[in-house]
Amino acid sequence: MAFPTNLKQLFNRAPKKNNWAGLIEAYRPWLPVTKKTPVISLYEGATPLLPVKSISDRIGNGVQVYVKYDGLNPTGSFKDRGMTMAISKAKEAGCEAVICASTGNTSASAAAYARKGGMKAFVIIPDGYVAQGKLAQALVYGAEILSIKGNFDTALDIVRELSEKYPITLVNSVNPFRLQGQKTAAFEIIENLGNAPDWLCIPMGNAGNISAYWMGFQEYFSANKSKKLPKMMGFQASGSAPLVIGKTVEEPETIATAIRIGNPVNKEKALLVKNSSNGKFLSVTDSEIINAYKILGKEEGIFCEPASASSVAGLLKLKDEVPKNSKIVCVLTGNGLKDPECAINNNDSIFHSGLNPDINSIAKTMGF
Protein backbone atom coordinates (compact mmCIF):
# COMPACT_ATOMS: atom_id res chain seq x y z
CA MET A 1 0.00 0.00 0.00
CA ALA A 2 1.27 3.44 -0.90
CA PHE A 3 2.01 5.80 1.94
CA PRO A 4 -0.85 8.35 2.04
CA THR A 5 0.20 11.87 1.25
CA ASN A 6 -3.21 13.33 1.81
CA LEU A 7 -3.58 14.75 5.34
CA LYS A 8 -7.08 13.47 5.93
CA GLN A 9 -6.00 9.94 5.05
CA LEU A 10 -3.05 10.27 7.42
CA PHE A 11 -5.30 11.32 10.31
CA ASN A 12 -7.58 8.39 9.65
CA ARG A 13 -4.63 6.06 9.96
CA ALA A 14 -3.52 7.56 13.27
CA PRO A 15 -3.96 5.29 16.30
CA LYS A 16 -6.91 5.92 18.55
CA LYS A 17 -6.46 8.90 20.81
CA ASN A 18 -4.68 7.97 23.99
CA ASN A 19 -6.76 9.23 26.87
CA TRP A 20 -4.59 8.00 29.73
CA ALA A 21 -4.64 10.68 32.41
CA GLY A 22 -2.56 9.13 35.16
CA LEU A 23 -3.15 6.34 37.61
CA ILE A 24 -5.51 8.14 39.99
CA GLU A 25 -8.03 8.64 37.18
CA ALA A 26 -7.48 5.10 35.90
CA TYR A 27 -7.85 3.36 39.27
CA ARG A 28 -10.03 5.85 41.20
CA PRO A 29 -12.36 3.20 42.76
CA TRP A 30 -9.32 1.38 44.17
CA LEU A 31 -7.73 4.45 45.74
CA PRO A 32 -8.50 6.57 48.83
CA VAL A 33 -9.52 9.67 46.86
CA THR A 34 -12.79 11.56 46.64
CA LYS A 35 -14.23 14.05 44.16
CA LYS A 36 -12.74 16.75 46.36
CA THR A 37 -9.18 15.46 46.13
CA PRO A 38 -7.15 17.75 43.87
CA VAL A 39 -5.37 15.36 41.50
CA ILE A 40 -1.72 16.30 41.04
CA SER A 41 -0.53 14.14 38.18
CA LEU A 42 2.13 13.98 35.48
CA TYR A 43 0.21 11.12 33.81
CA GLU A 44 2.34 8.47 35.51
CA GLY A 45 1.66 4.74 35.21
CA ALA A 46 0.67 2.59 32.21
CA THR A 47 4.29 1.55 31.80
CA PRO A 48 5.16 -1.31 29.44
CA LEU A 49 5.46 -4.96 30.40
CA LEU A 50 8.13 -6.19 28.01
CA PRO A 51 9.04 -9.81 27.23
CA VAL A 52 12.80 -10.30 27.64
CA LYS A 53 13.95 -13.20 25.49
CA SER A 54 17.59 -12.98 26.55
CA ILE A 55 16.59 -13.66 30.14
CA SER A 56 13.92 -16.27 29.29
CA ASP A 57 16.55 -18.14 27.21
CA ARG A 58 19.00 -18.13 30.11
CA ILE A 59 16.36 -19.62 32.42
CA GLY A 60 15.05 -22.15 29.86
CA ASN A 61 12.34 -24.76 30.66
CA GLY A 62 9.64 -22.80 28.82
CA VAL A 63 9.81 -19.98 31.35
CA GLN A 64 8.58 -16.60 30.11
CA VAL A 65 10.24 -13.59 31.67
CA TYR A 66 8.90 -10.05 31.43
CA VAL A 67 10.11 -6.77 32.82
CA LYS A 68 7.80 -4.10 34.19
CA TYR A 69 9.68 -1.07 32.91
CA ASP A 70 8.69 1.46 35.55
CA GLY A 71 11.71 3.60 34.71
CA LEU A 72 9.48 5.01 31.97
CA ASN A 73 7.43 7.01 34.47
CA PRO A 74 7.52 10.84 34.18
CA THR A 75 10.52 11.35 36.50
CA GLY A 76 12.09 8.04 35.52
CA SER A 77 11.16 5.83 38.46
CA PHE A 78 8.29 3.96 40.14
CA LYS A 79 8.23 6.61 42.86
CA ASP A 80 5.87 8.67 40.69
CA ARG A 81 3.09 6.14 41.33
CA GLY A 82 3.24 6.79 45.03
CA MET A 83 3.99 10.47 44.71
CA THR A 84 0.87 11.37 42.70
CA MET A 85 -1.16 9.98 45.63
CA ALA A 86 0.97 11.40 48.48
CA ILE A 87 1.12 14.87 46.95
CA SER A 88 -2.57 14.97 45.97
CA LYS A 89 -3.55 14.01 49.53
CA ALA A 90 -1.10 16.54 51.01
CA LYS A 91 -2.66 19.23 48.81
CA GLU A 92 -6.14 18.11 49.86
CA ALA A 93 -5.09 18.51 53.52
CA GLY A 94 -3.95 22.06 52.83
CA CYS A 95 -0.28 21.38 53.34
CA GLU A 96 2.21 23.89 51.95
CA ALA A 97 5.48 22.00 52.12
CA VAL A 98 6.66 18.39 51.91
CA ILE A 99 9.87 16.69 52.96
CA CYS A 100 11.61 13.39 52.30
CA ALA A 101 14.88 11.61 52.90
CA SER A 102 16.15 10.02 49.74
CA THR A 103 18.77 8.00 47.96
CA GLY A 104 17.72 10.07 44.93
CA ASN A 105 14.59 8.87 43.18
CA THR A 106 12.14 9.85 45.90
CA SER A 107 13.64 13.34 45.99
CA ALA A 108 13.31 13.76 42.22
CA SER A 109 9.72 12.57 42.25
CA ALA A 110 8.70 14.51 45.38
CA ALA A 111 10.20 17.69 43.93
CA ALA A 112 8.38 17.35 40.60
CA TYR A 113 4.97 16.59 42.08
CA ALA A 114 5.18 19.04 44.99
CA ARG A 115 6.16 21.90 42.69
CA LYS A 116 3.46 20.94 40.23
CA GLY A 117 1.02 21.17 43.15
CA GLY A 118 2.36 24.57 44.18
CA MET A 119 4.09 23.32 47.33
CA LYS A 120 7.62 23.63 48.64
CA ALA A 121 9.80 20.51 48.54
CA PHE A 122 12.64 19.88 50.98
CA VAL A 123 14.85 16.86 50.38
CA ILE A 124 17.53 15.44 52.66
CA ILE A 125 20.13 13.33 50.89
CA PRO A 126 23.34 11.49 51.84
CA ASP A 127 26.29 13.61 50.74
CA GLY A 128 28.11 12.06 47.79
CA TYR A 129 25.83 9.04 47.33
CA VAL A 130 23.09 10.30 45.04
CA ALA A 131 23.45 9.50 41.33
CA GLN A 132 23.97 12.56 39.11
CA GLY A 133 20.74 12.31 37.12
CA LYS A 134 18.64 12.28 40.29
CA LEU A 135 20.42 15.27 41.76
CA ALA A 136 20.02 17.14 38.46
CA GLN A 137 16.29 16.45 38.54
CA ALA A 138 15.76 17.66 42.10
CA LEU A 139 17.59 20.87 41.19
CA VAL A 140 15.67 21.49 37.99
CA TYR A 141 12.30 20.67 39.57
CA GLY A 142 12.98 23.34 42.18
CA ALA A 143 13.57 21.45 45.43
CA GLU A 144 15.50 22.82 48.37
CA ILE A 145 18.27 20.30 48.96
CA LEU A 146 19.82 19.52 52.35
CA SER A 147 22.80 17.24 51.87
CA ILE A 148 23.99 15.64 55.11
CA LYS A 149 27.20 13.95 56.22
CA GLY A 150 25.46 10.68 56.91
CA ASN A 151 23.64 7.89 55.12
CA PHE A 152 19.99 7.46 54.11
CA ASP A 153 18.97 5.87 57.41
CA THR A 154 20.21 8.91 59.36
CA ALA A 155 18.46 11.24 56.91
CA LEU A 156 15.20 9.35 57.42
CA ASP A 157 15.43 9.66 61.22
CA ILE A 158 15.85 13.41 60.78
CA VAL A 159 12.89 13.91 58.41
CA ARG A 160 10.62 11.83 60.62
CA GLU A 161 11.40 14.07 63.56
CA LEU A 162 11.13 17.27 61.51
CA SER A 163 7.70 16.29 60.20
CA GLU A 164 6.51 15.63 63.76
CA LYS A 165 7.75 18.99 65.06
CA TYR A 166 6.96 21.29 62.14
CA PRO A 167 4.07 21.81 59.71
CA ILE A 168 5.52 19.75 56.88
CA THR A 169 4.27 16.51 55.32
CA LEU A 170 6.54 13.47 55.12
CA VAL A 171 6.38 11.75 51.71
CA ASN A 172 8.68 8.78 52.29
CA SER A 173 7.08 5.34 52.05
CA VAL A 174 5.99 5.55 55.71
CA ASN A 175 3.28 7.79 54.20
CA PRO A 176 0.47 5.26 53.57
CA PHE A 177 -0.73 7.06 50.42
CA ARG A 178 2.58 6.24 48.74
CA LEU A 179 1.93 2.50 48.89
CA GLN A 180 -1.66 3.00 47.73
CA GLY A 181 -0.41 4.62 44.54
CA GLN A 182 2.36 2.08 44.03
CA LYS A 183 -0.01 -0.90 44.25
CA THR A 184 -1.39 0.07 40.82
CA ALA A 185 1.68 -1.46 39.14
CA ALA A 186 0.37 -4.88 40.21
CA PHE A 187 -3.02 -4.04 38.66
CA GLU A 188 -1.35 -3.16 35.36
CA ILE A 189 0.64 -6.41 35.30
CA ILE A 190 -2.51 -8.49 35.87
CA GLU A 191 -4.33 -6.55 33.16
CA ASN A 192 -1.44 -7.15 30.74
CA LEU A 193 -0.94 -10.85 31.47
CA GLY A 194 -4.59 -11.68 32.13
CA ASN A 195 -3.52 -13.08 35.48
CA ALA A 196 -0.89 -12.58 38.17
CA PRO A 197 2.59 -13.95 37.33
CA ASP A 198 4.02 -16.97 39.17
CA TRP A 199 6.88 -14.93 40.56
CA LEU A 200 7.31 -11.21 41.05
CA CYS A 201 11.00 -10.31 41.34
CA ILE A 202 11.71 -6.92 42.85
CA PRO A 203 14.56 -4.93 44.40
CA MET A 204 14.19 -3.95 48.04
CA GLY A 205 15.50 -0.85 49.80
CA ASN A 206 12.98 0.32 52.36
CA ALA A 207 10.71 -2.49 51.13
CA GLY A 208 7.81 -0.17 50.45
CA ASN A 209 7.39 -1.25 46.85
CA ILE A 210 7.27 -5.00 47.55
CA SER A 211 4.60 -4.30 50.18
CA ALA A 212 2.64 -2.13 47.74
CA TYR A 213 2.74 -4.76 44.97
CA TRP A 214 1.53 -7.43 47.36
CA MET A 215 -1.38 -5.20 48.41
CA GLY A 216 -2.27 -4.71 44.72
CA PHE A 217 -2.07 -8.42 43.90
CA GLN A 218 -4.23 -9.27 46.91
CA GLU A 219 -6.88 -6.68 46.08
CA TYR A 220 -7.25 -7.94 42.49
CA PHE A 221 -7.29 -11.53 43.74
CA SER A 222 -10.06 -10.76 46.23
CA ALA A 223 -12.05 -9.03 43.49
CA ASN A 224 -11.61 -12.09 41.21
CA LYS A 225 -9.60 -10.10 38.72
CA SER A 226 -6.79 -12.65 39.00
CA LYS A 227 -6.89 -16.34 39.80
CA LYS A 228 -3.61 -16.63 41.61
CA LEU A 229 -1.16 -14.79 43.80
CA PRO A 230 2.52 -14.59 42.91
CA LYS A 231 5.45 -15.62 45.06
CA MET A 232 7.16 -12.39 46.06
CA MET A 233 10.91 -12.60 45.49
CA GLY A 234 12.76 -9.67 47.04
CA PHE A 235 16.39 -8.86 46.29
CA GLN A 236 18.96 -6.70 48.03
CA ALA A 237 22.57 -5.84 47.28
CA SER A 238 24.89 -8.04 49.33
CA GLY A 239 26.63 -5.09 51.03
CA SER A 240 23.26 -3.72 52.01
CA ALA A 241 21.01 -6.65 52.77
CA PRO A 242 19.40 -6.19 56.21
CA LEU A 243 16.26 -8.13 55.18
CA VAL A 244 18.33 -11.10 54.07
CA ILE A 245 20.72 -11.30 57.01
CA GLY A 246 17.99 -10.35 59.49
CA LYS A 247 19.64 -7.37 61.13
CA THR A 248 20.37 -3.69 60.55
CA VAL A 249 23.45 -2.91 58.46
CA GLU A 250 25.25 0.06 60.03
CA GLU A 251 27.32 0.98 57.00
CA PRO A 252 25.55 -0.25 53.88
CA GLU A 253 27.60 -0.26 50.67
CA THR A 254 26.71 -1.08 47.06
CA ILE A 255 27.09 0.24 43.54
CA ALA A 256 23.27 0.36 43.51
CA THR A 257 23.07 3.58 45.56
CA ALA A 258 19.26 3.65 45.27
CA ILE A 259 19.07 0.68 47.64
CA ARG A 260 22.00 1.59 49.89
CA ILE A 261 19.73 1.31 52.92
CA GLY A 262 20.66 -0.45 56.16
CA ASN A 263 17.49 -0.18 58.23
CA PRO A 264 14.37 -0.54 56.04
CA VAL A 265 11.32 1.23 57.45
CA ASN A 266 8.91 -1.35 56.06
CA LYS A 267 10.77 -4.41 57.35
CA GLU A 268 7.85 -5.90 59.31
CA LYS A 269 5.54 -5.49 56.33
CA ALA A 270 8.11 -7.05 54.01
CA LEU A 271 8.58 -10.13 56.19
CA LEU A 272 4.83 -10.61 56.24
CA VAL A 273 4.77 -10.38 52.42
CA LYS A 274 7.51 -13.01 52.16
CA ASN A 275 5.72 -15.41 54.49
CA SER A 276 2.21 -15.00 53.18
CA SER A 277 3.27 -15.28 49.53
CA ASN A 278 5.66 -18.19 50.10
CA GLY A 279 8.35 -15.97 48.68
CA LYS A 280 12.04 -15.60 49.24
CA PHE A 281 14.58 -12.85 50.00
CA LEU A 282 18.07 -13.13 48.59
CA SER A 283 21.12 -10.93 48.15
CA VAL A 284 23.01 -10.36 44.92
CA THR A 285 26.57 -9.07 44.63
CA ASP A 286 27.46 -5.87 42.82
CA SER A 287 29.05 -7.90 40.03
CA GLU A 288 25.88 -9.99 39.61
CA ILE A 289 23.91 -6.73 39.45
CA ILE A 290 26.22 -5.31 36.78
CA ASN A 291 26.06 -8.55 34.78
CA ALA A 292 22.25 -8.32 34.60
CA TYR A 293 22.47 -4.57 33.90
CA LYS A 294 24.71 -5.23 30.91
CA ILE A 295 22.57 -8.06 29.51
CA LEU A 296 19.45 -5.86 29.61
CA GLY A 297 21.33 -3.04 27.91
CA LYS A 298 23.13 -4.82 25.13
CA GLU A 299 20.74 -7.69 24.40
CA GLU A 300 17.37 -6.05 25.04
CA GLY A 301 17.87 -2.33 24.49
CA ILE A 302 16.67 -1.72 28.03
CA PHE A 303 18.62 0.74 30.15
CA CYS A 304 17.79 0.52 33.83
CA GLU A 305 19.63 1.70 36.88
CA PRO A 306 21.78 -0.79 38.83
CA ALA A 307 19.29 -1.11 41.73
CA SER A 308 16.64 -2.21 39.24
CA ALA A 309 18.91 -4.79 37.62
CA SER A 310 19.05 -6.58 40.98
CA SER A 311 15.60 -8.04 40.25
CA VAL A 312 16.94 -9.73 37.11
CA ALA A 313 20.23 -10.65 38.81
CA GLY A 314 18.22 -12.33 41.56
CA LEU A 315 16.12 -14.28 39.09
CA LEU A 316 19.23 -15.50 37.26
CA LYS A 317 20.70 -16.58 40.60
CA LEU A 318 17.55 -18.61 41.37
CA LYS A 319 17.51 -20.18 37.88
CA ASP A 320 17.32 -23.76 39.16
CA GLU A 321 14.30 -23.04 41.33
CA VAL A 322 12.13 -21.44 38.65
CA PRO A 323 9.08 -23.63 37.94
CA LYS A 324 8.78 -25.02 34.40
CA ASN A 325 6.63 -23.00 31.98
CA SER A 326 6.06 -20.29 34.58
CA LYS A 327 5.58 -16.58 33.99
CA ILE A 328 7.93 -14.27 35.82
CA VAL A 329 7.87 -10.50 36.10
CA CYS A 330 10.98 -8.57 37.14
CA VAL A 331 10.38 -4.98 38.16
CA LEU A 332 12.74 -2.41 36.67
CA THR A 333 12.19 0.39 39.13
CA GLY A 334 14.34 3.16 37.66
CA ASN A 335 15.71 4.46 34.38
CA GLY A 336 19.37 3.91 33.47
CA LEU A 337 19.84 7.59 32.65
CA LYS A 338 19.59 8.30 36.37
CA ASP A 339 23.14 7.05 36.89
CA PRO A 340 25.35 7.91 33.91
CA GLU A 341 28.54 7.39 35.92
CA CYS A 342 27.66 3.75 36.52
CA ALA A 343 26.94 3.27 32.81
CA ILE A 344 30.20 4.84 31.68
CA ASN A 345 32.22 2.75 34.11
CA ASN A 346 30.39 -0.54 33.50
CA ASN A 347 29.93 -1.57 29.87
CA ASP A 348 31.60 -3.76 27.26
CA SER A 349 31.42 -1.31 24.38
CA ILE A 350 34.36 -0.01 22.41
CA PHE A 351 35.00 3.72 22.60
CA HIS A 352 37.69 5.07 20.27
CA SER A 353 38.36 8.63 21.35
CA GLY A 354 40.48 11.45 19.99
CA LEU A 355 40.41 10.24 16.38
CA ASN A 356 41.52 12.45 13.54
CA PRO A 357 38.55 13.42 11.33
CA ASP A 358 39.99 11.45 8.43
CA ILE A 359 37.86 8.92 6.58
CA ASN A 360 40.67 6.49 5.82
CA SER A 361 42.00 6.27 9.34
CA ILE A 362 38.47 6.02 10.73
CA ALA A 363 37.63 3.19 8.34
CA LYS A 364 40.85 1.46 9.38
CA THR A 365 39.94 1.85 13.06
CA MET A 366 36.56 0.28 12.20
CA GLY A 367 38.36 -2.74 10.82
CA PHE A 368 37.79 -2.18 7.10
Residues that bind ligand AN7 (CB under 6 A): 77, 102-106, 173, 203-209, 258-259, 305, 307-308, 333-334
Q: In angstroms, give the least distance from the CB of 280 to ligand AN7.
A: 16
Q: In angstroms, give the least distance from the CB of 209 to ligand AN7.
A: 3
CA-based diameter of the chain, in Å?
69
Q: Quick check: 202 and 331 in contact, CB under 8 A? A: yes
Number of H helices, E strands in the chain: 16, 10
- Measure Cα distances from 180 to 24, 49, 133, 173 in Å: 10, 20, 26, 10
Strands 49-51 and 64-69 turn out to be antiparallel
Q: In angstroms, give the least distance from the CB of 81 to ligand AN7.
A: 11
* DSSP of 29-70: GGSS--TTS----S------EEE-HHHHHHH-TT-EEEEEEG
**Residue among 10 and 139 whose Cβ is closer to ligand AN7:** 139
* DSSP of 83-110: HHHHHHHHHHTT--EEEEE-SSHHHHHH
**Residue among 159 and 190 whose Cβ is closer to ligand AN7:** 159
Q: In angstroms, give the least distance from the CB of 232 to ligand AN7.
A: 12
**Residue among 135 and 204 whose Cβ is closer to ligand AN7:** 204
- Alpha carbon 85 to its chain's center: 16
Q: In angstroms, give the least distance from the CB of 308 to ligand AN7.
A: 5
